[in-house]
Amino acid sequence: MSTLWSKGTQATDLVDDFTVGNDRVLDLRLAKYDVIGSKAHIKMLESIGLLEADELETLTKALDQILNEIEAGEFILEDDVEDIHSQVELLLTRRLGDIGKKIHSGRSRNDQVLVDVKLFLKDEVLKLREEVMTLFETLQKLSEKHKDTLLPGYTHSQVAMPSSFGLWFGAYAEALADDMYMLRGAYNVTDQNPLGSAAGYGSSFPLDRQMTTDLLGFASLDYNVVAAQLSRGKTERAVASAMGAISLTLNKFAADCCMYMSPNYGFIKFPDQLTTGSSIMPHKKNPDVWEIMRGNCNRIMSAETQISMLCSNMPHGYHREFQLLKDILFPTLELMHKCLQMADYMLQHISVNENILDAPIYEYLFTVEEVNRRTLAGMPFRDAYKTVGIEVNEGKFHYQGAEGKTNGQLTPADLKHTSMGSLGNLCTEQISAKMEAAARFQSEYVK
């Protein structure tokens, strides 16, 4: 196998297979970013006299050609080439001769990989940002559309107090706003340039690290060259942590949907083509999409722990285990994109039950409302609580707050919940403003 580090001896095939693993396949996702990083690096090399102007022009044109091949799907990692960095340098040397060999001056594969990964993750985080925003907007629209449809709320899986579909959808929208802050934090951690740290101890070449930082659109540098290498694993963990936060939100929403789709609840439904059936029970409409999403979100949440365990017992500097980070993070990113996209797709087709509360099981859903009504009428709260409790025990309880209406006919307006964020005051605009502030990192940090 052709390696950049070869000094005349070759590893056995068994060692190659064990140490390279799946890295060659995963590396293809970094090909574009390797070329982008190399273009910035050679421009800097020319500025400090390590390349002539005509050499820079020749190398840039060759790199642009390779970038076009990558974008056209024509770029391949040859069987006897170790990784994407080796392939790019091999192509340059094959096409340009000795000029191609100059591209690696002042850098190591260590900072080269770091640059590639960080550029890749910046793009991935921005894609996640847009997908989270799309799902957020869908939830907000559903919250407003169904804000007057009451829904039973549960604590300890027991019927508790009145909620609404507006409150339910809106809750998950605001949860995504919190998750967006996590995503923003992950972006900030990622948006620092490690190029020029070389193998972790810098270079005796007079590298202009600020120049490559500006050329690559990073907000800042990893200044200390050792700290730049310490960011390996930390960056991946930050992104995994943000995805874990989003996944926890989606996991709970998926669990709600599985429960609410059950005939025992019957709160929501989806078209037949979005559910599955049973091989022997013709009546079944299974929530397979939400169950798979619930499971995949659990897998996504585990990524941060896997990364932490992988990186936790290594001293500073590069270690080959870092290669395994891609095995953890790259498939996790794919799952996260799919889950966000599928959640939005499913919600485009959701139907809600507008006649839930007339069922006898919800007879005591309004006990707190009745206690509060009597308290507002002048009865001490503890007395109101006790008398309503006695009526429940004796089977005599009836909510008196909306005369002439059955439970199923009540609306949030009847319940007089006016405090911020409650049934009658969903604060949709304020939640949108919160998300807008959380998602503002793109305009602030992307150059």
Q: Are strands 192-193 and 220-221 parallel, antiparallel or unpaired?
A: parallel
Structure token digits, residue 3: 């390696």
pLDDT in tens, 315-344: 887 777 888 899 999 999 999 999 999 999
Q: Are strands 150-155 and 351-352 parallel, antiparallel or unpaired?
A: unpaired
Higher pLDDT, 159 or 131: 131
pLDDT in tens, 120-154: 999 999 999 999 999 999 999 999 999 999 999 99
Rounded CA separation 339/289 (Å) = 10
Residue 226: what pLDDT? 94
Q: Taking residues 203-223, what's their average pLDDT?
A: 95
CA atoms within 13 A on the CB side of 77: 20
* For residue 308, pLDDT beyond 90: yes
Higher pLDDT, 7 or 265: 265
Residue 446: what pLDDT? 43
Residue 64: how many other CB atoms lie within 10 Å:
12
Give CA 140 to chain center in angstroms.
Answer: 19
Residue 444: what pLDDT? 47
Q: Which CATH number is 110-148+163-353+434-445 given?
A: 1.20.200.10
Rounded CA separation 86/31 (Å) = 11
Rounded CA separation 376/171 (Å) = 28
Rounded CA separation 191/185 (Å) = 10
pLDDT band at 442 (very low <50, low <70, confident <90, very high): low
Rounded CA separation 67/54 (Å) = 20
Alpha-carbon separation of residue 30 from 83, 116, 253, 276, 307 (angstroms): 10, 6, 33, 38, 19
pLDDT in tens, 79-107: 888 788 889 999 999 999 999 999 999 99
pLDDT in tens, 394-431: 998 888 877 778 888 888 988 888 899 999 999 999 99
Which residue spans of the chain are classified as CATH 1.20.200.10?
A: 110-148+163-353+434-445
Residue 315: what pLDDT? 85
Residue 78: what pLDDT? 87
Residue 45: what pLDDT? 96
User: Among 236, 191, 190, which residue's Cα sits nearest to residue 214?
Assistant: 191
Contact in structure between 374 and 171 (CB atoms under 8 Å): no
Query: Please, which residues bridge with residue 59 across strands?
Result: none
* For residue 5, pLDDT beyond 90: no
Residue 447: what pLDDT? 42
Question: What percentage of the chain has pLDDT greater than the value 70?
Answer: 92
CA atoms within 13 A on the CB side of 101: 2
User: Among 12, 136, 84, which residue's Cα sits nearest to residue 435?
Assistant: 136
Residue 284: what pLDDT? 65
User: Among 260, 73, 247, which residue's Cα sits nearest to residue 176?
Assistant: 247
- Identity (one letter) of the amino acid at 131? E
Backbone CA torsion sign across 99, 100, 103, 108: negative
Residue 358: what pLDDT? 87
Radius of gyration of the chain (CA): 29
Residue 445: what pLDDT? 43
Which residue spans of the chain are classified as CATH 1.10.275.10?
A: 13-105
Tell me what the pLDDT averaged over the chain comes to.
Answer: 90
Rounded CA separation 191/235 (Å) = 9
pLDDT in tens, 338-381: 999 999 999 999 999 998 998 889 989 999 988 999 999 999 99
* For residue 283, pLDDT beyond 60: yes
Q: What is the 3-state secondary structure (H, E, C) of the chain?
A: CECCCCCCCCCCHHHHHHHHCCHHHHHHHHHHHHHHHHHHHHHHHHHCCCCCHHHHHHHHHHHHHHHHHHHCCCCCCCCCECCHHHHHHHHHHHHHHHHHHHHHCCCCHHHHHHHHHHHHHHHHHHHHHHHHHHHHHHHHHHHHHCCCCEEEEEECCEEEEEEEHHHHHHHHHHHHHHHHHHHHHHHHHHCEECCCCCCCCCCCCCCCHHHHHHHHCCCEECCCHHHHHHHHHHHHHHHHHHHHHHHHHHHHHHHHHHHHHCCCCCCEECCHHHCECCCCCCCCCECHHHHHHHHHHHHHHHHHHHHHHHHCCCCCCCCHHHHHHHHHHHHHHHHHHHHHHHHHHHHCCCEECCCCCCCHHHCCCCHHHHHHHHHHCCCCHHHHHHHHHHHHHCCCCCCCCCCCCCHHHCCHHHHCCCCCCECCECCHHHHHHHHHHHCCHHHHHCC
* For residue 187, pLDDT beyond 90: yes
Question: What percentage of the chain has pLDDT greater than the value 90?
Answer: 71
Contact in structure between 150 and 362 (CB atoms under 8 Å): no
Residue 9: what pLDDT? 55
Architecture of domain 13-105: Orthogonal Bundle (1.10)
pLDDT in tens, 22-53: 666 778 899 999 999 999 999 999 999 999 99
Q: Are strands 158-164 and 150-155 parallel, antiparallel or unpaired?
A: antiparallel
